[in-house]
Amino acid sequence: MSVALTTAQTARRQRFAFVLLCLTRFMVVLDASVVNVALPSMQHDLGLSTQALQWVVSAYSLTFGGFLLLSGRAGDLFGRRRLLIVGLALFSLASLAGGFASSSIWFITTRAIQGLGAALVAPTTLSLIATLFAEGPERNKAFGIMGSITSSGFAVGALLGGLLVAGPGWRWVMFINVPIGVLAIALAPILLEESGAQAEQRHIDVLGAAVITTGLIALVAVLGEGNVLGWLSWQAIGLFVLALVLILAFVSIELRSPAPLVRLGIFRLGTLSGGDMVGLLGPAAFVSLLFMLTLYMQKVLGYSAVETGLAFLPMALTLMVVSNLASRLVARISVKSVLVGGMVIITFGLLFFTRMSTTGTFLGMLLPAMLIVAIGLGCVFPAMFIAGTAGVSNNEQGLASGLLNTAQQVGAAIGLAITTTIATGRTTVLLRSGASSGAALVGGFQSAIFVCAGFAIAAALIAMVVIREHECTQSLANPSLAEHCHSARPFAIHIPHVALRHSSTSVSSEIER
Written as one string, the DSSP assignment of 233-244 is SHHHHHHHHHHH
Phi, psi of 501 (to 5 degrees): -80, 160
- Match domain 2-196+259-512 to its CATH number in 3.40.50.150, 1.20.1250.20, 3.20.20.70, 1.20.120.1200: 1.20.1250.20
CB 448 within 8 A of CB 419: yes
Distances (CA, A) of 14 to 9, 19, 134, 484: 8, 9, 12, 21
Q: Which of 21, 10, 36, 40 is nearest to 304 (CA)?
A: 40
Give me the half-sphere count of Cα atoms (radius 13 Å) on the Cβ side of residue 32: 30
pLDDT at residue 311, rounded to an integer? 87
- Sequence-distant (≥ 6) Cβ neighbours of residue 159 within 8 angstroms: 306, 309, 310, 313
CA dihedral 455, 456, 458, 460 (to 10 degrees): 160
Domain boundaries, the chain: 2-196+259-512, 205-258
- Count CB atoms within 10 A of the CB of residue 434: 8
Amino acid at 422: I
> What type of residue is 362?
F
Please give the helix or strand (H or E) that residue 423 lies within, else none.
Answer: helix 397-432
Give the SS3 label for residue 276.
Answer: helix
DSSP state of 332: T
Per-residue pLDDT of the chain (513 residues; tens, 9 = 90+): 444 446 666 777 777 888 888 888 778 777 767 776 777 777 777 877 666 776 777 778 777 777 777 776 677 667 778 888 999 999 999 999 988 888 878 888 998 899 889 888 877 776 677 667 765 566 656 665 665 666 566 667 767 777 887 788 888 888 888 888 899 899 888 887 776 555 455 667 778 878 887 887 787 777 766 666 777 788 888 888 998 999 899 889 888 887 777 777 777 777 778 888 888 898 889 888 988 888 898 889 988 878 887 888 888 788 878 877 776 777 677 778 888 899 999 999 999 999 998 888 899 889 999 999 989 988 887 777 777 766 666 556 556 766 777 787 778 878 888 898 899 889 989 999 988 888 999 999 999 999 999 999 999 999 888 877 655 555 455 544 444 444 444 433 343 333 333 333 333 333 333
Sign of CA dihedral 300, 301, 302, 308: negative
What torsion do the CA atoms of 56, 422, 462, 268 make, to the nearest 10 degrees? Answer: -50
Task: Please report, in angstroms and rounded to a whole number, the separation of the first and last CA atoms in the chain.
Answer: 73
Which residue from 298, 330, 324 is spatially nearest to 312, judged by alpha carbons?
Answer: 298
DSSP letter at 296 equals I
Count of beta carbons in the 10 Å neighbourhood of residue 317: 15
Q: Would you say 323 and 493 are in contact if contact means Cβ atoms under 8 Å apart? A: no
How far is residue 199 from each of residues 80, 257, 378, 412, measured CA to CA in Å? 14, 20, 42, 37
